[in-house]
A and B are shown apart, each in its own frame.
Chain A
Amino acid sequence: MKTTVIKPKKTFSLSDFKEVWQYRELAYFFAWKDLKVRYKQTFVGVAWAVFQPFIAMVVFSVFFGGFLEVPSDGIPYPIFVYSGLLFWQFFSSALSDTSASLVGNASLITKVYFPRLILPIAGVVIKFVDFLIGAVILAGLMVYYGFIPDPIIFAVLPLLLLITFAAAIGGGLFLSAINVKYRDVRYVLPYFIQMLLFVTPVIYPASIAGKWSFLLALNPMTGVIKASRAALFGSAPINWELLFISLISVFVLLIVGIIFFKKTERYFADVV
C-alpha cells in the first residue's frame, strides 16, 4: 500500500521527477483536452495549425524575400523562412503557453493535487503536435523545390527538438512561476517574443551579422534553426560547436527554471 508523508516542503528532490513520471497519463489527458477543445466552434478547425505558419511564410516571402531582397544563403526564400518559422513558432507558442499554464489552471491547482510540472509539460506537448502538422507542409515545399534532405537530419532532428523543448520549458517554467506573483508577465511576454524573433535568424540568415554573429549564438534558437537549415538544404556544414553551446545553455536554463518553479510551487495554491 502506498504511504504518503506530508511535511513542510523544503526544496526539490529526485522523487519529484519520479512522481511526474507516475502522472504521465495526466499530462496526456491535459494535452488531449486542449487539442479537443481548441478548435471547437471554429470554422476551419485543425487547419489553423497549418494556416498560421503558412500565411506568415507568404507575407514574409513577399516583403522580406521579394521587396527587401533579404539574402537566404542561396535557398529559395519561402522554404528558407518556413523552416525557420516552423521551429520558431514551436518555441514561441510553447513558451507563451507554458508561462500562462499555472495562472490559467488556478481553479485546478487550488482544488486537486498532482505534480504541477505536468501542466507546462502538457502545454509543450500540444505545441509539438502543431509542429508536426506544420512539418507536413515543409515536406511538401521540399518536394516542390526539389530538395533532398541530408540523411543526417534524422540524427540531428531529435537533438534540435530536444533543445527547443528544453528552451521553451525552461524559460516557460521560470516565467510561469513569476506570473503567479506578478501578472506583468502576460503583458511583457508577447512583446518580448516579438523582439526575440528579430534577434533570431528566422527571416534572415545568421551570416548577415558578419563578425557579430557569435552574439546571435547566445540565443539557443539560433543554433537550432541554423542546424536545421544545414541539414535540410545542405547549405552549409552543421556547426556542432554552436549546437553544443546551445545544448549547454538550454540545460542551464532548464535547471534554473525547474528550481525556480519548485520553489514557487510551495505556495502556489495560497497565492494564485
Chain B
Amino acid sequence: MSYKYIMENAIEIKNVGKKYNITHQKGGYVSLRDVIMNILKSPFKHAKQKARKVIGKDAKEEFWALKGVSLTVKKGEVIGIIGANGAGKSTLLKVLSQITPPTEGEIILNGRIASLLEIGTGFHQELTGRENVFLNGAILGMTKKEITERFDDIVEFSGVKKFIDTPVKRYSSGMYVKLAFAVAAHMEPDILIVDEVLAVGDAEFRKKSLGKLDEVSKTEGRTILFVSHNMAMVEDLCNRSILLEHGKVKLIGETKKVIGEYLSKSNEKNRAIHNFRIDQHRDNQVTKISLLNDRNEPTSNFDSTKQFTVDIEYLVKQEVKGTMLSFLIYTADGNKLIHSDSFNYSGVIPESLEAGNHKTKITIPANLLNAGDYYIETIIRIPGFSSLDHRENIQFSISGENSLQGDVYGKNYEGILSIPLEHKTEEIK
C-alpha cells in the first residue's frame, strides 16, 4: 500500500443537489383512469399543461431536499451527520447509497460502500436465521463465499446462536435486530453508512455495536458516516461532523462545535418544530410535530416541574379503516417508556382517523419525567396489521434544576420517572 493510497479521500461530495417536484394532486397513487378522465374532461387544459411541461414553463412546485452540499471525507474518518428532521440527512444518505440519483452535482466514492439505512432489510419472516443471514448478506452486496467465511463470526456476534435455525418470525424484535446488525457489521465495506440503527436493541448490545463500529474505523481504517439524533453517541464516535439545515450545509467541523451549534439557542426552533414533506402517495400522514412548553413557546428543552405539550398535525386524504395514531416516548437508551393511543384516554376505540387535516394535542404532565434525553415516535397504523406513516427520533430533553430532587441531589438524581410518590410514615409502637 503506497503512501498516496492511504491519503486518499474516501468520499468526495461536490455541490450535490436533489430536487423533488411536488404536485398538488389529491388521492393516493395516480391511476390511469384519473389521467384519462382528466384528458376527457378538459382536453384543452390538459394539452396546454402538457405543452407547458414540455417547454418547461410548468408552474409546478419544486422542493430542494439538498442544495449545494459539498463534503470531503478522508479514509478512516468517522463523520457525524446531524440536523433537525427534514434537514436532508436521509436524502443525503439515499443519494450516497445510490438509492436515488442526485439532480445535480457529483459524488466520488473510493471503495466498496454499504449502508445500514435500515438494518434487516430483505429479511424474510418465513426463513430461518441462517437463511436470512445469507439472503441479507447477498442483498447488502456480499458474495456467497464471503458470507460462508464469516458466518460463524456473525452468529457469534449476534448472540442468537441457539435460534439460528428457527424462522425469524418467531424471534423477538431484539433478536431480530441483533442478527441483522451482526450481518451488516461483518460485511467489511470500505465506507459504511449508519443511520440510527443503534437506537434499537438493549443497552448491552448497543455498547457492543458501538464498540464494533469504533474498532472498525480505528483498526481497519474504514470510513463511517454516522447519522443520529443521539448527540452523546455522535460525540462518542465522530471526530468531525456536518450540520445540515433545510438541505444546506450549515457547518462542518469538530464534532463538539457542530453539536454546540445544533443545540444552541438560535437553533431552538428547528429542534422544536418538525415539518414533514407531504408524500402524495400516502393516504395518511403526520405533517408536523411541534414541541411546546407550558407557555406555548416552541422549545425542545423542558422543565421537569412544568407540563408541556406535543402537537401532532396529520393529514388524512383517504380514510382507511382501522387506523389510529400512536404516540410513543423512548428513553435515550432506546427503551420504550410509554405507548399512548387516543382511545386509551377516551375509552372509545374509533373506527379510523377521519379524512381531513387534524391536530392532536398531547399533554405530558408536570413531574412525570426525570431529567434526561427522550425521543418521540408517532405512528399511524392499523394495529397488528400495518403501519401507514412512521416518524421517529423527535428529540427533547428535560432538565430538573427546578425540582425538589434537583435541589437535594443536583443533576445526579436517578430514575426515569420523577412522579412524587406518597411516603406515609408512622411510628411503630
Contacts and interface: CB of A to CB of B under 8 A. Distances in A.
Nearest to B117: A111
A2 interface: yes
Contact of A184 (B32, B100, B105, B127): B32
Interface of A: 1-9, 25-26, 29, 32-33, 36-37, 40-41, 107-114, 181-184, 266-267, 269-271
Contacts, number: 106
B95 A270 contact: no
B95 A6 contact: yes
A1 B190 contact: yes
A80 B281 CA distance: 48
A1 B112 CA distance: 8
A113 B138 contact: no
Contacts of B141: 114
B100 A269 contact: yes
A270 B20 contact: yes
A124 to B, nearest CB: 18
A29 B139 contact: yes
Of B29, B102, B118, the most chain A CB neighbours within 10 A belong to B29
Given A33-B124, A266-B101, 15 more contacts: A1-B110, A1-B111, A2-B110, A3-B109, A3-B110, A7-B107, A25-B144, A29-B144, A37-B126, A37-B127, A108-B122, A114-B139, A183-B29, A267-B100, A270-B20
A189 B9 CA distance: 49
Nearest to B139: A112
29 contacts: A1-B111, A1-B190, A5-B108, A6-B96, A8-B105, A25-B143, A26-B139, A29-B138, A29-B144, A36-B127, A37-B124, A109-B99, A111-B115, A111-B117, A111-B121, A112-B97, A113-B97, A113-B115, A181-B29, A181-B30, A182-B29, A182-B30, A182-B32, A182-B35, A183-B31, A184-B32, A269-B94, A269-B99, A271-B281
Contacts of B96: 6
Nearest to A103: B29
A97 B127 CA distance: 21
Interface in B124-161: 124, 126-127, 131, 134-135, 138-141, 143-144
B261 interface: no
B220 to A, nearest CB: 14
Contact of A112 (B106, B108, B115, B126): B115
Contacts of A32: 135
B370 to A, nearest CB: 36
A2 B122 contact: no
Most buried by B among A9, A26, A112, A270: A112
B98 interface: yes
Given A1-B111, A37-B124, A6 B106 contact: yes
Contacts of A5: 106-109
A4 B31 contact: no
A181 B35 CA distance: 11
Interface string B3-42: 0000000000000000010000000011111010000000
B120 to A, nearest CB: 10
A220 B140 CA distance: 38
Contacts of B106: 5-7
B189 to A, nearest CB: 10
A61 B127 CA distance: 39
B292 interface: no
A108 B123 CA distance: 10
B341 interface: no
A181 B25 CA distance: 14
A113 B127 contact: no
A259 B20 CA distance: 23
Contacts of A7: 101-102, 105-107
A6 to B, nearest CB: 4
A112 B117 contact: yes
B107 A6 contact: yes
B134 to A, nearest CB: 7
B58 interface: no
B140 A270 contact: no
Contacts of A267: 100
Contacts of B104: 8
A183 B34 CA distance: 12
Contacts of A2: 110-112
B113 interface: yes
A8 B35 CA distance: 28
A114 B113 CA distance: 12
Given A108-B139, A184-B33, A6 B118 contact: no
